[in-house]
């Protein structure tokens, strides 16, 4: 199929995978209709912290073994995408602070992988994070990990899609709604299993609930700060602190018990912050067996997948969008397509 002969494609899902893919398809000249049952920003994509963090994620929660090169490739697609959308990409870097054993181990991990990292003194760290635990001597700063503001980015993607003639429709689909579909369908349905009959691959995704905390009565940190068991960053005029990992759960209830570890880690970082005053939001991540997305053709003809982002949906979205667009248009999907091929689990 040629990008000069537009045809209709339906994308189910308006999270970051759905919107980034829809945008990429529209930019390739296709007529795109996005169907989603929830407003953009109200699913995992809008709850997320928006860190584009190939380095820290490789060290702290490596998906698919060591996928560093893949994650770095995805990150490096962001500057161009952000520029096209008129979005600010925060490239001021990510800091880390905590006990000396932890920061020493981290620094060694960065250096072993050839990732850039430097030492930061206590006064600089405290300027970035007022209220920092007085026992922490300083920490680390890497320019490798960046950030985007998720809800602003989702709104920009939806607006750009509309400018390109894309349609966003609010509706919940059942598998029978996809029967008789003549054009290609991209399923970007996150952790929702409802369309499993349309693509059996969706049944292999496991939910991981994530709760994230926010408060508006403390000064926003000047950049992302990682500590053992948590991160804090400035968002919407306050402090965002994340996030829990609750495998097997797909409910969106605020659960104080499950937040306990996160709250303790944030309490160690900011000992003077009152423990009350945090509000919680929850989202559900979808995880494949190897922690990497399913991007490309599904086993059902005409069905394509952009799902399974686990912790790195924001980071991976431009790469997934590129691979899925190439699969739909029949063009070369590039070297990472095999690693993310939905057929890799057999």
Residues that bind ligand FAD (CB under 6 A): 12-18, 35-38, 43-45, 47-51, 172-173, 188-192, 194-195, 210, 212, 242-243, 283, 285, 307, 309, 311-315
**In this complex, which beta carbon is closest to ligand FAD, that of residue 164 or of residue 197?**
197
Using CA atoms, how far residue 251 sits from 192, 193, 208, 255, 283, in Å, is 11, 13, 10, 10, 8
Bridge partners of 146, per DSSP, are 52
Bridge partners of 305, per DSSP, are 187, 296
Least Å distance between CB 209 and ligand FAD?
7
| DSSP SS3 for 23 | helix
Q: What are phi and psi of 41, to 5 degrees?
A: 105, -15
DSSP 8-state assignment for residue 342 = G
Least Å distance between CB 131 and ligand FAD?
22
Least Å distance between CB 121 and ligand FAD?
27
Give dist(CA 98, CA 108) in Å, integer: 15
**In this complex, which beta carbon is closest to ligand FAD, that of residue 30 or of residue 195?**
195
| DSSP SS3 for 269 | helix
Give dist(CA 206, CA 212) in Å, integer: 19
Least Å distance between CB 13 and ligand FAD?
3
Least Å distance between CB 134 and ligand FAD?
28
**In this complex, which beta carbon is closest to ligand FAD, that of residue 28 or of residue 282?**
282
Give dist(CA 266, CA 244) in Å, integer: 12
Q: Where are the alpha helices (DSSP H) in 31-147?
A: 44-47, 54-60, 68-75, 78-85, 100-112, 122-128
Give dist(CA 201, CA 322) in Å, integer: 20
**In this complex, which beta carbon is closest to ligand FAD, that of residue 218 or of residue 319?**
319
Least Å distance between CB 176 and ligand FAD?
11
**In this complex, which beta carbon is closest to ligand FAD, that of residue 139 or of residue 209?**
209
Tokens of residue 175, six digits:
């598998």
**In this complex, which beta carbon is closest to ligand FAD, that of residue 15 or of residue 98?**
15
Least Å distance between CB 210 and ligand FAD?
3
**In this complex, which beta carbon is closest to ligand FAD, that of residue 45 or of residue 227?**
45
Torsion region of 23: left, alpha or beta (phi above 0 gives left; psi -120 to 50 gives alpha): alpha
């Amino acid at each position: 199929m040629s990008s000069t002969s537009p045809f209709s494609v339906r994308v189910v899902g308006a999270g970051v995978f759905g919107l980034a893919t829809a945008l990429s398809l529209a930019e390739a000249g296709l007529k795109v209709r996005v169907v989603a049952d929830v407003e953009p920003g109200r699913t995992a994509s809008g709850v997320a912290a928006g860190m584009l963090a190939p380095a820290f994620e490789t060290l702290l929660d490596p998906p698919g073994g060591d996928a560093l090169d893949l994650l770095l490739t995805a990150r490096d697609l962001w500057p161009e995408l952000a520029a096209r959308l008129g979005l600010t990409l925060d490239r001021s870097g990510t800091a880390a602070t905590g006990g000396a054993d932890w920061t020493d181990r981290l620094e060694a991990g960065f250096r072993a992988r050839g990732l850039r990292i430097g030492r930061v003194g206590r006064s600089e760290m405290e300027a970035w994070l007022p209220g920092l635990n007085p026992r922490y001597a300083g920490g680390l700063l890497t320019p490798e990990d960046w950030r985007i503001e998720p809800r602003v980015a989702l709104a920009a993607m939806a607006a750009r899609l509309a400018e390109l003639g894309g349609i966003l429709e609010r509706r919940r689909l059942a598998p029978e709604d996809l029967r008789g579909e003549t054009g290609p369908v991209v399923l970007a349905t996150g952790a929702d299993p409802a369309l499993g009959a349309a693509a059996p691959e969706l049944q292999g995704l496991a939910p991981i609930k994530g709760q994230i905390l926010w408060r508006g009565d403390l000064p926003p940190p000047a950049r992302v700060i990682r500590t053992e068991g948590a991160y804090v960053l400035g968002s919407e005029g306050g402090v965002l602190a994340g996030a829990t990992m609750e495998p097997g759960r797909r409910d969106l209830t605020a659960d104080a018990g499950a937040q306990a570890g996160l709250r303790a880690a944030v309490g160690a970082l900011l000992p003077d912050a009152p423990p009350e005053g945090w509000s919680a939001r929850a989202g559900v991540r979808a995880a494949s067996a190897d922690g990497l997305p399913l991007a490309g053709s599904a086993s059902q003809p005409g069905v394509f997948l952009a799902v399974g982002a686990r912790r790195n949906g924001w980071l991976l979205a431009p790469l997934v969008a590129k691979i899925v667009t190439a699969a739909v248009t029949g063009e070369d999907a590039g070297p990472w397509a095999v690693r993310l091929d939905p057929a890799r689990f057999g």
